[in-house]
Structures are given as structure tokens and as C-alpha cells.
Structure 1
Amino acid sequence: MNLYPTLQSHIEQAQALSISQERKAVLQVLIDYIQKKVDQDQVINLNYICTHNSRRSQFSQIWGKVAAEYHGIDINSFSGGVEVTAFNERAVASIKRFGFKVSKDGEGNPKYFVFYSDDADPIVTFSKVYDDATNAPTDFAAIMTCSHADENCPFIPGAEARIPVRYEDPKAFDDTDQEAIKYDERSLQIGSEMLYLFSKVKKIQK
């Protein structure tokens, strides 16, 4: 798979970031879940969940899919929230800066088609509730990317695992001179951690 050159350079940048032992311990729970699925030759469905499904969960869905492809792990990557808003335009601008090619369909809560290679289908993403019909209804890991969703959704129907992997919200910097920097910083962190965790999954030799 040939990644777009700008994206490839940002992946190399993400891989060079240091991840603390504390964060590695958080990620290990998700690594173990994915490894068990690989070992049992089962479909891997990951649903990244945040309150509005507008920033962190969208970054996670996109980077999760790309990182899995990069390391040769076959997954289905989804995202959702507890209410519908829209994929925030600031977050969309950030992924464009990272080298993803993006097309938009509709207004209000548009669908975005996020391309990372001419050799792969785009990632289709838009704001939706976690149990939207486009997401896996059962046998998925609910990955809680924000504290609000984690604390206010004590039960996720259909999830076989619930794994908190929380990130700080770049929304705090909206309309400031730090906005683009902080969105890119959060995206790069998520990319770094997704690349790290999929690098730790051992594929079965067939």
C-alpha cells in the first residue's frame, strides 16, 4: 500500500514520539483485546466513542484504521457518540494538514470520505450515535476516548469489551491562536499511540 507522501512523513513523525509507560499500560488493554481476536481468527470491530463524535473519536477512527493497515492488521474501525453533531471542521482541517485527502458530501452533518492511499477505499466518517446502523451492532470493543462519554455511558449495548483510552479535547483551544497547533498535537498523539499499539500485535503466520 502506497500512502500519500505527506501522510507517510507524518507517520514517521508520529512513530518517533515518546509514549510514557503510563500510557503504554492504558494501551496494553486494547492490545490484548486485539491480539486475542487475531489469535482466534475473529473479526476485529473497534468503535471509538466520544460525547459528540466530532473530534477525538473521529481522529481515533481514522488513525486506528490507517495504523492497522500500516502494520497489516485487518480491522473495522468505527466511531460514535452519545449525541449527533458534526465532524468538526477544525478537526477536518487538521487531518488535511497531515496529508489525508478529504471529500465532503452534504451540509449540517456531512459525510466525509477520507483517503490515505489510492490503493485503499476511503474511510467514511460523520457524526453519529455509537449504535448507528453503520456501526457494528455486536462483538465490538467500545473504546472510550473522552471522560464525559466514559462516565455517562455506563453500559454500551452490544460491546464485548469497554476500554478507556482517553484524550484531552482540543476544543479548549477553539478560536485561539493555538487552535491549529493543538488540533495537530492531539491528532499526532492519537496517531502515535495507534501506530504503537498495532505494532505490538503479532500476526498469525499462515
Structure 2
Amino acid sequence: MFEKIEQLIKTLANKEVKSTDLLDFLLAHQAGENHLVFVCTHNSRRSQFGQVWAHVLAHHFQLNIKAYSAGTEVTECNPRTLQALHAQGFEILSEEGENPVHKVYFSKEADPILLWSKTIEDDSLPQANFVALMTCDHADENCPFIPGAQARIPYRYEDPKAFDGTDLEAKMYQERSLEIATDLHALFSQLSNK
């Protein structure tokens, strides 16, 4: 793992688990591989942070968890999301185009995490036996049913989009990324101790 990311993980304070429903579900299903799909309306900010940090922390804690992200609409992975991840130590290679695929590297040895905006019906996502984590209130309120999900759990965060174009933009994107990383660190550390 890249040194800067390893150091950042060491700073993540253990706190209470954000969702005991999610912890209970994962504890009950630890025998197999678990698939987490982070869902937000545009699949451009919070759900992408969730996918990246769940992937990295599952690797860190050696958990059998696969992470994905999706939305209810296709847009693109927001450049500010990528800038925040880059500032936190990730290396990113991006394709060109309207909705490009971004290869997010956290280690020289591991395959990159692939980020792009997609809907919950995308063929790259598990079609059954996954947990849908609703990272924004709009998707949570407007998607009462996610086909194929074993569980649908609210896992909401404030949208850093509110700070786009302001002096606080970079700070708030990094804060949201760290908030999601901290919550997942608390969750995965609990799982690794069971």
C-alpha cells in the first residue's frame, strides 16, 4: 500500500459503528464473500468515496468484501472527488470522454479500483446477494426497493457539492472522504476482531 495511504489509515480514530444494522448483517454473513454497493443519485461523490475506502480497508483488514458504487442516474465521477483522493495519496489514471473510467491505485501490487458513474442496473455490479448502502437522502427516499439486494441500509452523508466553487471546496471533499473512511474503518475493524 502506498505510504501516504498507510499513514492516513493509522490516523483514523476508532469510533462507534455508524450502522449496527450493517455490522449485524456482515457478522451474520462472514462465512462467504460480501458485496457492498454504495448508492447515491449521481454516483459521482459520496458513493465513489464509499467504494474506494471500502475496497482499501477490506484489503487492509484482509476481509472478504467487494465494494462497488452506483446511482439512479449516470453522470460522471466528479473531478473534485478524484482530486480529494489524489491529495490523500491515491494515484489516478483517467480515460478521456463523457463518463470516463478512472483507475485508482492504492498499491503497486494490487489491481486498481475502477471508478465511473453507473446506475444500479449496470452489468458490472452484482445482480443479487449484495447490500445496498444508501449514501444520500435523495436516493434513500426515492429508491425504496433495490432489485437483488439482500439488505438496503441507510448510510447517509452530507453532500460536499454544497461547497463547489467556494474556498472550502477542497477541504470539504477531503473531510467527506475522511468521514467515510473513518466510518468504514470502525466497521471493518469490528469485523476483523470477530
Give unmatched runs, 5+ long, in structure 2: none
Query: Partners in 2 of 1:35 and 1:145 — Cα distance?
Result: 21
**What's 1:96 paired with?**
86
C-alpha deviation, 1:43, in angstroms: 1.9
- Alignment equivalent of 2:2, drawn from 1, 4, 24: 4
C-alpha deviation, 1:7, in angstroms: 1.1
Normalising by structure 1, we get a TM-score of 0.90
Amino acid at match of 1:88: N
**What's 1:36 paired with?**
28
C-alpha deviation, 1:203, in angstroms: 6.5
Secondary structure of 1:201's match? helix
* Matched-pair identity in %: 43
Query: Partners in 1 of 2:61 and 2:91 — Cα distance?
Result: 21
C-alpha deviation, 1:174, in angstroms: 0.1
Secondary structure of 1:155's match? coil
- Alignment equivalent of 2:162, drawn from 162, 172, 175: 172
C-alpha deviation, 1:95, in angstroms: 0.2
Query: Partners in 1 of 2:193 and 2:107 — Cα distance?
Result: 23
Query: Partners in 2 of 1:113 and 1:30 — Cα distance?
Result: 28
- Whether 1:84 and 2:82 are equivalent positions in the alignment is no
**What's 1:108 paired with?**
98
- Alignment equivalent of 2:111, drawn from 98, 121, 124: 121
Amino acid at match of 1:10: L
User: Superposed, which structure 2 residues align to 1:18-29 within 5 Å?
Assistant: 19=15, 21=16, 24=17, 26-29=18-21
**What's 1:154 paired with?**
144
Secondary structure of 1:102's match? strand
Structural RMSD (CA): 1.3
Amino acid at match of 2:24: D
Amino acid at match of 1:47: V
**What's 1:132 paired with?**
122
C-alpha deviation, 1:90, in angstroms: 0.5
Checking the alignment, whether the CA contact within 8 Å between 1:73 and 1:203 is kept in structure 2 is: no
Query: Partners in 2 of 1:64 and 1:97 — Cα distance?
Result: 18
